[in-house]
Structure 1
Amino acid sequence: MAADVFDVAVVGGGPAGLSAALSLARARRRVIVFDAGDPRNGVAEHMHGVLGHDGLPPSSLLERGRREIEQYGGVVAGGRVETVHVGSGGIEVDGPSGPVRARRLIVATGLRDGLPEIAGLRGLWGRGVVVCPYCDGWERRNDTIGVIAMGPRGIDQAHQLRQWSDRIVYFPNDLGEPGSDELRTLEGRDIRIERGRVRAIRSSEGRVEAVELLDRSVAVETIFTATTLHPRDQLLRDLGARTLDDADGSWVVVDPDGRTSVEHVWAVGNVVDRRSNVSVSLGAGSLIAGAVNADLTAEDIARSMRAQSGDER
């Protein structure tokens, strides 16, 4: 059976992918979105700092987006895409219900947060244990906030959170003693330092109660920490997309319009940009959709010119 043919296939149904698909569907492009249903912020009960949607559950935003895309004739398909083939005949996506052909591909598969291996932490992720002050700082204002350092940026995180609460407890954990200059800045802002290895997080009924060190327990109400970022970019790597290593890992490279090094393949959102929160992803999806549509329009013009000249290649 012949594969369905679309102008654009979008792999990833988070804010970036849905935003791109909505703009393209409104541009009367035939669009299909493959949504594995595993968004990065799926554990969060509410979004914050998203203009016009502050406090809205992330699942509600995505549900609205899917309906809007379908309203303009786009297709949203559930399931995970494992392989994509790019060749002279176009792009073929091995979708859950069979092959789908497309002229262009947008990968918006996001990233996965690797959580610190601390007993009791995983079950509190997205509730009592969080990572982004701009997403959760207001809701934790005036809490006793524990900052568990997982790298040198932990001190920066502690200083940043000081504007939300004057009760910040910094846990150097395995990083050891802060340097003399760092120590002065922490003490100068009344940030308490609790030295020693963190062995567990104690909680009750889903609420953080304390950070357990090897020899004592320190009461806190909220924990901020850092995660290891794992972009879900295997599809892009399998296609041979160029990557670049930095202090935060290895990332697929895109130009300002989201174009990868693979012809006719774009990428947007957390899969290529660690800074893309919901608001940034929504804007980036719209921007990249415009670039993809312009590329399709250039191809449409070229085809029309060839047809006029009798060259049907």
Structure 2
Amino acid sequence: MSRYDVVVVGAGAAGLSGALALVRSRRSVLVIDDGRPRNAPAGHVHNFLTRDGAPPSEINAIGRAEVAGYGGQFATGTVTAIRRDEVFTVELADGTAYQARRILVTSGLTDVLPEVSGLAERWGKDVLHCPYCHGWEVRDQAIGVLAISPLASHQAQLFRQLSDDVTLFLHTAPELTAEQREELTARQIAVVQGRVEQVEIRDGKLTGVRLENGKFLPLEVLAVQPILRAKATFLTELGLEVSAQEVRGVGYGDALAVDVQGQTAVPGVFAAGNVTDPMAQVVHAAGAGLQAGAAINGDLIAEDTRSALASRGS
């Protein structure tokens, strides 16, 4: 069984950034990835200084090449379990296993979309979620916001900064408060009662939504609020569980808890990126990966020093 200083689970911005810091410190590193990046449906990455507008695949390819250039290795597969004895054993779905002194979890998250016919088909194209990721590209268009929680009112206000034509569809969200209605009215954001039954598509583009009463409303863009689920079930045998995340008392998903250096509750297991911070954009994830990679190297140095002192004493 191959053994490494560090096995990194996930080859997104956080994983590759952490791996780069480690290989540049002459650590042996294996990056395992399932080949299903969260941002694959998106055409471009934004708000990443010097890389604004670059396709996600291009950034990933550059990152892989940089890590490989310092001796980092890669494996394709799905991690199903991690166990710990004297070292960590990382098991893949195909039965392959690797050993590591430390683990860096950067497995990301899954966007759980509202169950509306046609919505998933346009995800990452003209069905969007983040005004900072996609807002400039949809400026001045007819934008709808599909509400599933009280947070949708804030989301509508964010998109109102980008277009004068914004409609909030209450869908399955609770009734608006009087304050929310007043704020939406003040900024001329239309509010539509009733569930959205279907996203209408024509010639490969979103054309609008149809309500459960049959009424059709034309749109060019639909913003949604996915539930953000951390991809961390393979950590169960280590005793690590995700915890619910809230904004203003409203739940929006879950995440793995870490300290400021990316250390989890299990010594030797670190994590970074969307698995720990669901709201993080690519540039944030890259920074967190670097932080965790540096912390892991420091942790290994401390262990190496203890071993050297023990050998010297014997």
Task: Give me the whole-angstrom Cα distance separating, in 2, the residues matched to 1:243 and 1:129.
Answer: 27
Using the alignment, how far apart are the partners of 1:250 and 1:125 within structure 2?
21
C-alpha RMSD of the superposition: 1.4
How far does residue 203 in structure 1 lie from its aligned partner after superposition? 1.3
Map Cα deviations across residues 26-58 of structure 1 (whole Å, 9 max, x no partner): 110000000111111011111111111111110
How far the C-alpha of 1:222 sits from its partner, in A, is: 0.5
Report which stretch shifted further, 96-105 or 281-290: 96-105
2:105 matched to 1:93? no
Structure 1 residue 250 displacement after superposition: 4.0
Where 1:174 maps in the other structure, the secondary structure is coil
Question: Which of the numbers 301, 304, 310 marks the counterpart of 1:306?
Answer: 310
User: Closer, same or farther in 2 for the Cα pair 1:270/1:168, shift >3 Å?
Assistant: same
| Correspondence 1:257 to 2:261 | yes
1:123-157 alpha-carbon deviations (Å, 9 max, x no partner): 00000100000010000000010011111000000
Instruction: Give per-residue Cα distances to partners, 1:60-105, cap 9 Å, x unaligned.
Output: 1111111111110010111111121111x11111245732111101
Tell me which residue corresponds to 2:62. Answer: 64
How many matched pairs? 307
User: How does the TM-score come out when normalised to structure 1?
Assistant: 0.95
Aligned to 1:228: 227
Structure 2 unmatched ranges of 5 or more: 246-250
Q: Give 1:242 shift.
A: 5.1
CA drift at 1:276: 1.6
Q: SS in structure 2 opposite 1:33?
A: strand
Question: Could you state the TM-score of these two structures normalised by the residue count of structure 2?
Answer: 0.94
Residue 272 of structure 2 corresponds to which residue in structure 1?
Answer: 268
Name the amino acid aligned to 1:228.
I
Give how far 1:184 is off.
Answer: 1.2
CA contact (8 A) 2:105 2:269 kept: yes
Aligned pair in 2 of structure 1 residues 48, 130: CA closer, same or farther (>3 Å)? same
CA contact (8 A) 1:43 1:125 kept: yes
Please give the alpha-carbon distance, in whole angstroms, between the structure 2 residues aligned to 1:29 and 1:221: 49
Separation in 2 of the partners of 1:174 and 1:101?
46
Specify the code of the residue in structure 2 equivalent to 1:32. L
1:189-221 deviations in Å (ceiling 9; x for gaps): 111112221111111122111111123111111
Displacement after TM superposition at 1:249 (Å): 3.9
Residues 1-313 of structure 1 mapped to structure 2, 5 A cutoff: 3-87=1-85, 89-95=86-92, 96=94, 98-175=96-173, 177-213=175-211, 214-241=213-240, 243-246=242-245, 247-310=251-314
| Secondary structure at the counterpart of residue 173 of structure 1 | coil
Once the 2 structures are TM-superposed, how far is the Cα of residue 175 of structure 1 from its aligned partner?
2.6
In structure 1, the gaps of 5 or more residues are none
* Greater shift in the superposed pair: 250-259 or 105-114: 250-259
Counterpart-to-counterpart distance in 2, 1:275 and 1:215? 35
Checking the alignment, whether the CA contact within 8 Å between 1:17 and 1:106 is kept in structure 2 is: yes
Matched residues, percent identical?
37
Equivalents in 2 of 1:127, 1:18: separation in Å?
A: 25
Separation in 2, partners of 1:125, 1:167: 21
Distance 1:27 1:269 in 2: 21
Contact 2:232 2:241 in 1 (8 A): no
